[in-house]
Every structure is written in C-alpha cells, then in structure tokens.
C-alpha cells in the first residue's frame, strides 16, 4: 500500500535559526510502500519472558496502565486511568522521531509485539529478531519491551538485505523499565543501499531503572532515527552508543534526547561516524535537565570523520537546563585525517587510502564489539570490511 505522507519528524526540542536546517526533517510517501505490518518472530523466548502480538492501539493499554507515574513526570495531557486515547497513552512515552510516526502506525493498523519480563527475572539469553528483507519489500511494525521490577532483558534487532536491494523498513520501539529493571537494546542496520528506513525509539525509566541502547547505521540510502528516553524517577540511567557510516549520496538524520526528570539521573550518549563521497548527515543531540532533576549528570559527544570535501555535515549538540545542581557536558568533534597522523602512517608504509580504511574500521568496530551476540558481531565486522 502506498501512503500519502507528509510527516514532520526529528523535531529539535528547542528550535533554532531556520537557515541552519536542523529544526526538523520531513518524510513523504514517494519512497514508502508498505505491504507487511508484522515483525519477525524471535527464534527463542527466554524463560520468564512472554510475548503477545497486538495492534498498535491495543499496545497503548500498557502505557495507560503506567500512565499515572509517567504522565506526572512528562506533563503529557491526559487523565490517568481515564478515557485517554491509545495515542495519548503511547505519547506518555515519547519517541525521538515524534507523534507523526504514531499517527502512521495507527492509520495503517500496524502490529506490535509486546515483550514482558517477569518481576525479578534476569533473562539468560537475548531475544533476537532477524529482519531479513526481500527486494522491494515494505514493512512497518513495532515492539514494546516491558521490564518489570528488578528484571533484565537484552533484545537484538538485525536489519539486513541483499546489498543492492531496495524497499522500506519502518520500526517503532518503546521501552519501559520499572524500578531496578534494565533493558539492553541492540540494533544493527545493514540494509541494501537502495532502502528507505526509519527507526523510532522511546522509553521511560523508573527508580534505579536503566536503558542501554547500541545502534549501528551502516546501510540504506535514506535513514531517519530518533530516541527519546525519559529518566522519570531518581537514579534512572541511560547509556547510548551509536556508530554510523554514510557514503555515496546517502542521507542520515538523527535526533536523540535524554529527558532528566528524576533526581540523580545519569545519561551518556556517544556517537561515532564517518562521512564519505557526497553523503549528508544531520545530528541533533539534547540533554534536557527538567525542574526537579537536581544531582543529575549528562554527557553527549559526537566524533565525526569527514573524508570528502563534498559531504554535508550538520551537528547540533544541545543542553537545556531548568535546574542548578546538575552536571551537563556536550561536544562535537568534526574533522578530517590530520597531516601528522597521515605522515606517521605513511612513514610506516601505509598509504592514505589504507589509512582511511583503518580509521573507519576503528571507529565502527569500537561500537560493533559491544554487540552481545558473537554471530551478529562477526557479520557486522565482515560487512564493514567488505564495504571498504
């Protein structure tokens, strides 16, 4: 099915000058053809973890049940335990790409797999979802990962296709970590160079909960990705680590937000990437210290290596603050290979092209090595070596 889309996504939390072209991004329907609305089934489900496939509308019930704690933190309009819509309840856990993705999910009747980890259960193996995309296929789907009190789960999502394949893959993932729970989310995007892809993440952490997100954006021609994690209560934590590679005329648009609302919350967001040829990348990273987040800390760092004079790089690291007793740090390192480094490598028999390949591999494999599944980690490393 073709959708007539005019979606505004990845909106910067506080707008800046329009001429910088970083306030938001747009998705139209020209490249999106949806013919499937379900996720692949996991090969195995660990003991203590259940999965239920429901409509996007039905999935909103989970957030309605937890809306009293979430809505108090976020200020999203709605009456806890009242007659709020599924979309209102879902937006209690906001996502990085924004409400227009939810509107799309609801309008087409997309399905959502809800993974629930029982209280106190530490899943002994990861849940692995392999999105093996066929040429010309279009998929829109979602997941909810709900870790109950003092539980832990790892979910690995592998997006892949043939190297020259075209198609569309849109994924919406929401995370809910209750008191003392931990969610580890790994996403590796190895789609063909003619794919259009978006990956939307939203999450909420309660007291001493933790969300760890590892993402690799290595394929597809047009990519939008966003994450919005609400550190709703005291001592909640977020750790995010992204690696990306853009080559040819590929476009990558990123919007990551850590929303600090509880006391003594902590967030660390790291981004490492490489731009080649005529690639274009926009990065938005925001640490938002809300009123009541005293004692919290946040750090966001981007390290982008530009290996062509024709690339377009836009980076907007932001800190917003309504509290005094906080520690916020941010920065963006943008540059090319230094003359000193090239001279050092050439003096040891390494030419400039090989030096570039070494630097690309070093950046991306530093993220790939954190993938907890050995088979996927090796395949990602092979993918990186192969495209270079």
Cα–Cα dist 27/265, whole Å? 33
Mean pLDDT calculated for residue range 345-357: 76
Which comes out higher in pLDDT, residue 65 or 177? Answer: 177
What totals of helices (H) and strands (E) does the chain contain, helices first? 7, 19
The band of 338, judged by pLDDT with boundaries at 50, 70 and 90, is low
DSSP letter (8 states) at residue 249: T
Return the percentage of the chain with pLDDT > 70, whole number.
88
Mean pLDDT calculated for residue range 254-271: 97
Mean pLDDT calculated for residue range 252-273: 97
DSSP letter (8 states) at residue 309: T
Is the Cα torsion angle 369, 371, 121, 125 positive or negative in sign? negative
CA-to-CA separations, 321 to 135, 193, 205, 318, in angstroms, rounded: 46, 40, 20, 10
| Three-class secondary structure of residue 99 per DSSP | helix
Nearest to 331 by CA among 263, 363, 283: 283
Q: Which two tokens stand for residue 337?
A: 């290979």
The band of 84, judged by pLDDT with boundaries at 50, 70 and 90, is very low
Say which range, 62-76, 140-154, 210-224, 233-247, has the weakest mean pLDDT.
62-76
Q: Which two tokens stand for residue 362?
A: 């070093």
- Side by side, the strands of the sheet bearing 237-246 are 127-132, 152-160, 182-190, 210-217, 237-246, 266-275, 297-306, 327-335
Maximal CA-CA distance, the chain: 70
Which comes out higher in pLDDT, residue 347 or 184? Answer: 184
CB burial string 269-290: b at 16+ within 10 A, e below: bbbbbbbbeebbbbbbbbbbbb
Mean pLDDT calculated for residue range 46-60: 90
- The predicted pLDDT at position 159 comes to 97
Strand-pair category, 6-9 with 25-28: antiparallel
Nearest to 283 by CA among 310, 246, 320: 246
pLDDT at 80 over 80: no
For residues 42 and 127, is the Cβ–Cβ distance under 8 A?
yes
For residues 128 and 156, is the Cβ–Cβ distance under 8 A?
yes
| Three-class secondary structure of residue 93 per DSSP | coil
- The predicted pLDDT at position 1 comes to 60
- The predicted pLDDT at position 172 comes to 96
| Three-class secondary structure of residue 71 per DSSP | helix
Q: Cα(first)–Cα(last) distance of the chain, in Å?
A: 36
Cα–Cα dist 173/112, whole Å? 9
pLDDT at 247 over 90: yes
Cα–Cα dist 270/35, whole Å? 35
Return the percentage of the chain with pLDDT > 90, whole number.
73
Backbone angles phi, psi at 262, to 5 degrees: -85, 165
Place of tokens 């909106």: 11
Extents of the domains making up the chain: 6-339
- The predicted pLDDT at position 4 comes to 67
Question: 309 exposed, middle or buried (CB, 10 Å; 0-12, 13-18, 19+)?
Answer: exposed
- The predicted pLDDT at position 353 comes to 78
Mean pLDDT calculated for residue range 66-93: 51
Cα–Cα dist 250/228, whole Å? 24
For residues 154 and 115, is the Cβ–Cβ distance under 8 A?
no
- The predicted pLDDT at position 339 comes to 65
How do residues 275-313 score in pLDDT, each as one tens digit?
A: 999 999 999 999 999 999 999 999 999 999 998 899 999
Would you tell me the crossing angle of helices 56-65 and 99-108 to the nearest 10 degrees? 130
pLDDT at 192 over 90: yes
Assessment of whether the complete model's pTM goes beyond 0.85: yes
Cα–Cα dist 184/177, whole Å? 10
Nearest to 76 by CA among 65, 90, 62: 90
- The predicted pLDDT at position 29 comes to 77
The band of 78, judged by pLDDT with boundaries at 50, 70 and 90, is very low
- The predicted pLDDT at position 82 comes to 41
DSSP letter (8 states) at residue 258: E
């Amino acid at each position: 099915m073709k959708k007539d889309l005019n979606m505004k996504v990845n909106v910067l939390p506080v707008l800046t000058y329009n001429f910088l072209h970083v306030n938001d991004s747009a998705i139209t329907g020209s490249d999106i053809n949806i013919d499937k609305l379900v996720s692949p089934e996991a090969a195995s489900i660990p003991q203590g973890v259940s999965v239920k496939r429901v409509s996007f509308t039905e999935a909103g019930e989970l957030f309605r049940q937890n809306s009293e704690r979430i809505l108090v933190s976020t200020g999203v309009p709605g009456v806890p335990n009242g007659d709020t819509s599924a979309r209102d309840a879902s937006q209690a856990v906001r996502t990085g790409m924004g409400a227009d993705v939810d509107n799309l999910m609801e309008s087409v009747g997309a399905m959502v797999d809800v993974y629930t980890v029982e209280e106190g259960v530490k899943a002994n193996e990861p849940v692995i979802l392999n999105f093996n995309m066929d040429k010309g296929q279009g998929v829109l789907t979602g997941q909810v990962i709900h870790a109950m009190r003092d539980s832990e789960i790892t979910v690995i999502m592998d997006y892949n296709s043939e190297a020259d394949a075209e198609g569309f893959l849109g994924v919406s993932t929401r995370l809910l970590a209750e008191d003392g729970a931990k969610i580890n989310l790994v996403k590796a995007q190895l789609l063909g160079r003619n794919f259009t892809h978006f990956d939307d993440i939203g999450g909420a952490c309660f007291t001493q909960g933790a969300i760890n997100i590892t993402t690799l954006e290595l394929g597809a021609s047009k990519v939008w990705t966003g994450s919005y994690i609400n550190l709703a209560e005291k001592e909640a934590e977020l750790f995010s680590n992204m690696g990306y590679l853009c080559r040819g005329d590929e476009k990558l648009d990123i919007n990551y937000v850590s929303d600090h609302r509880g006391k003594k919350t902590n967030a660390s967001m790291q981004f490492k990437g490489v731009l080649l040829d005529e690639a274009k990348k926009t990065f938005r990273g925001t640490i938002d210290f809300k009123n009541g987040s005293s004692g919290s800390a946040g750090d966001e760092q981007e390290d982008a290596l530009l290996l062509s004079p024709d690339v377009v790089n836009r980076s907007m690291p932001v800190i917003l603050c309504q509290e005094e007793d906080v520690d916020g740090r941010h920065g963006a390192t943008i540059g090319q290979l230094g003359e000193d480094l090239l001279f050092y490598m050439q003096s040891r028999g390494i030419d400039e092209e090989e030096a570039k390949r070494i630097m690309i591999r070093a950046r991306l494999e530093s993220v790939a090595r954190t993938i907890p599944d050995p088979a996927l980690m090796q395949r990602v490393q092979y993918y990186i070596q192969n495209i270079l």
